Amino acid sequence: MKKLQQLPGIRRVWEQLIVVCESNLQVWFNQYDEIEPRSNKINFELGGSDMSGKLSANVPPKTWRNVWSYKPASPIKHVTYSNDGTLFATASQNDRLVKIWYRTIDNSAIISFMST
């Protein structure tokens, strides 16, 4: 399996991918053209007791594209990332199951993930 950091044009995987957990587990890709300078700042804001939140980034509109989605059997409560950016782990709300997710690499431009 090819390491994600070695893919052309990607310095670090999580600079261009972000994981979002709502009713679905989603991965979004930042398709922003790197020719123009930009801020690397992404802001996460969590609301009151309902933990509603919003994501804002200092990039032009429509630069994030949903590239992968998965409907879990149980809502996801926690997400964490590996230091090298090749994996992320999820823990469900109603069980003690932890899934380790990794990106599958093939010759197509499709982004997909598998869990163990």
- Give residue-wise pLDDT tens across range 28-68: 887 765 544 555 555 555 444 454 555 555 555 567 788 88
* Model pTM score: 0.57
Structural domain span for residue 37: 4-115
List, in order, residues 6 or more apart from 81 with CB less than 8 Å away: 14, 19, 87, 88, 89
Q: How many domains does the chain contain in total?
A: 1
Distance CA 104, CA 47 (A): 34
